[in-house]
């Protein structure tokens, strides 16, 4: 901003005469824009200077506090939103897994019933193969005779009442 120069010259001789010379320059040199304050030629003086920023530093501090508070609110809202989304997603996945397990249990039960029917059919086929179909014929005859006897019993009862 500015410069100050000072020079001093002392000469000492062995004689009783002493010469002291002090040169002080009060000039200042400025390079570029001079947007501030520059003082020159004020040696051995007391200068009181008051400068103001017109509240700029206080306003900057308030702006910084507002920015931090706003960032805190945004971060808290984002964390809460993520927690809600995570909880909802976990509930959905859990429900889907439960439904899948129920469906698998139903399929397993149906498959077990089908396996039982298949085993019975294989057993009947094996019995027919062994006896040439006589057991199946005997079962059919037993059923047919049972139906005829039941029919005759009903007929006799009806005839006896009428």
- Identity of the highest mean pLDDT range in 15-24, 56-65, 111-120, 150-159: 56-65
Render pLDDT for 1-27 as a digit per residue (tens, 0 to 9).
455 555 565 655 555 556 677 666 666
Report whether 23 contacts 8 (CB < 8 A). Answer: yes
How far apart CA 124 and CA 130 sit, in angstroms, is: 10
Residue 149 binned pLDDT confidence (cut-offs 50, 70, 90): confident
pLDDT surpassing 90 at residue 67: yes
Q: Measure CA of the first residue to CA of the last residue in the chain; give whole Å.
A: 141
Of 145, 121, 125, the closest CA to residue 135 belongs to 125
DSSP 12: E
Q: Do the beta carbons of residue 124 and residue 136 sit within 8 Å?
A: yes
Predicted pLDDT at 8 = 60
Q: How far is CA 38 from CA 46, 51, 78, 86, 156, in A?
A: 15, 13, 52, 64, 141
pLDDT band at 133 (very low <50, low <70, confident <90, very high): low
What mean pLDDT comes out for the span 85-92?
85
Read off the pLDDT band of 120 (50, 70, 90): confident
Question: Are the C-beta atoms of 59 and 72 separated by less than 8 Å?
Answer: no
User: If pLDDT is split at 50, 70 and 90, which confidence band does 126 have?
Assistant: confident
More confident residue, 24 or 156: 156
d(CA 25, CA 86): 76
Look up tokens 């002291």; give the residue. Answer: 20
Which residue did the predictor score with more confidence, 64 or 14? 64
pLDDT at res. 61: 92
Model confidence at 95, pLDDT cuts 50, 70, 90, reads: confident
- Determine the Cα–Cα distance for residues 68 and 62; give it in Å rounded to an integer: 10
């Amino acid at each position: 901003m500015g410069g100050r120069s000072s020079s001093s010259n002392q000469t000492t001789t062995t004689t009783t005469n002493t010469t002291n010379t002090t040169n002080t320059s009060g000039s200042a040199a400025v390079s570029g824009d001079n947007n501030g304050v520059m003082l020159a030629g004020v040696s051995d003086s007391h200068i009181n200077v008051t400068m103001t920023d017109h509240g700029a530093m206080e306003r900057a501090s308030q702006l910084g506090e507002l920015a931090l508070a706003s960032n805190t609110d945004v971060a808290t809202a984002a964390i809460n939103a993520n927690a809600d989304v995570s909880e909802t997603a976990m509930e959905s996945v859990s429900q889907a897994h439960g439904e899948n397990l129920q469906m698998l249990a139903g399929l397993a039960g149906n498959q077990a019933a089908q396996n039982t029917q298949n085993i019975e059919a294989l057993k009947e086929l094996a019995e027919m193969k062994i006896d040439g179909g006589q057991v199946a014929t005997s079962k059919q005859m037993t059923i047919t005779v049972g139906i005829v006897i039941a029919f005759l019993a009903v007929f006799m009862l009806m005839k006896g009442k009428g």
